[in-house]
Amino acid sequence: MNDSTATTASAPGAFETNDRLKRRHRVERYFQYACIAALAVAGAFLVLFFTDMIRTGYSAFVQTEVRVEVDYSNPEEYWNVIDREMRPIVSRGFTRLVPSMIKENPDLVGQKRTEWIIAKADIDQYRKGSKDAVDEETAAQIRTLESQGRLRFTFNHWLFTHGDSKLPELAGLKSAIVGSIYVLALTLAFAFPIGVMTAIYLEEFAPDNRFTQAIEININNLAAVPSILFGLLGLAIFINFFGVPRSSAIAGGLTLGLMTLPIVIISTRAALRAVPHAIREGALAMGATRWQAVRDHVLPMSLPGILTGTIIGLAQAMGETAPLLLIGMIAYIPDAPTSMTQAATVLPAQIFTWAGMPEHAYVERTAAAILILLTVLIALNATAVFLRRRFERRW
């Protein structure tokens, strides 16, 4: 036995075989190390991105307020309701709101009240660490007010209760949030029924011929088309041909619906294809029609996969900016839209607008808006994962 083993080990080519085997194992280890390194680099960039966004944007959720005496004795001269010495500190936006405040509460006329009022963006940035935001005289006044307890940080409710503004301290996301809700609702209403019905026909009823094969190829190609081309398509069809109002939520929703449609069709077909044919055959054997088998058995079983694909498509649509730029949804929208046909904007477009502003206060608001958008997208994707795991059936 020992002689045979020795002979085999010393046979021609045995050592070459062992060397090749060791080389393959060594290459496999190098490949594993490369994959781990790539994963570590990707994770590091992800951590760096979130760290930078949080570090830059968390300060936008608090805002400086100053305690001043407001004189409502002469409401017609609303710019004089604040003492002259405090005007470099108080936001000009407050004085612009005085007429509407008096209209809502006429009892304010003739009163003098001490109130906490939003401060200018420069004052806020100085208190957040940007020492070059104000001159030395204003900085001395800020230090005096701080020693008197007349300056404070409070939650920045303006970020969520007001729309865009030329004054950074008053700029908010309300109009963008409302516009995003309108656009996503229209996208879902347009893409979901058409996409699901198209997928059911192609998967369950359409004959296998060159025409349906061409349709399937084009649907797959549309899913890979750059999103800006859908913006051109929406501009040409919905705005120029059908006369849909430019910059409106209905134009944005229909345009993003076109972009989401191929994703819904592909995901729905995959969900339908995952249902075993025995389900269909059993229903047909019991006397059900083809449509009854699909409606009562196949479609309910594939619904979790359909919903998952639809939610992922909506999440992708919510993060799109390029197609909306071409249909005018990058406009300055200070007030939230109240209907589908009014001018509107969305969160990605608002981020794009603020990113181009020169004031430093818009930088933190841009980062805060990105964090809010990422939170919504993560929530949508988490919902899709939950639905898939909660209702998924393994055959």
For 327-347, give the DSSP string: TTTTS---S--SSTTSB---H
* pLDDT range class, residue 328, cuts 50, 70, 90: confident
Return the percentage of the chain with pLDDT > 70, whole number: 94
Tell me, what's the pLDDT at 75? 62
CATH class of 174-391: mainly alpha
Tell me, what's the pLDDT at 147? 93
Nearest Cα to Cα of residue 124 among 149, 93, 91, 95: 91
Cα–Cα separations (whole angstroms), residue 115 to 33, 64, 118, 159, 253: 62, 13, 10, 20, 42
**How many whole angstroms separate alpha carbon 120 and alpha carbon 167?**
8
**How many whole angstroms separate alpha carbon 296 and alpha carbon 361?**
56
Q: Yes or no: say if 252 and 262 are a contact pair by the CB < 8 Å rule.
A: no
3-state secondary structure at position 149: coil
Rounded to 10 deg, the angle between the 361-391 and 347-355 helix axes is 150
pLDDT in tens, 242-294: 998 988 999 999 999 999 999 999 999 999 998 898 988 898 888 889 999 99
Tell me, what's the pLDDT at 348? 92
Structure tokens at 76: 């017609």
**How many whole angstroms separate alpha carbon 26 and alpha carbon 185?**
54
Nearest Cα to Cα of residue 67 among 154, 150, 155: 150
**How many whole angstroms separate alpha carbon 174 and alpha carbon 329?**
15
Is the pLDDT at 35 greater than 90? The verdict is: yes
Q: Phi and psi dihedrals of 322, rounded to 5? A: -55, -50
Count of helices and strands (H, E) across the chain: 16, 3
Q: Which of 71-75, 200-204, 330-334 has the lowest mean pLDDT?
A: 71-75
Tell me, what's the pLDDT at 12? 55
pLDDT in tens, 185-242: 999 999 999 999 999 999 999 888 888 889 988 998 888 888 888 989 999 999 999 9
Region 47-60 average pLDDT: 91
Tell me, what's the pLDDT at 394? 66
Structure tokens at 342: 């009014």
Per domain, the residue ranges of the chain are: 61-156, 174-391
* pLDDT range class, residue 1, cuts 50, 70, 90: very low
* pLDDT range class, residue 366, cuts 50, 70, 90: very high
Place of tokens 């209403």: 189
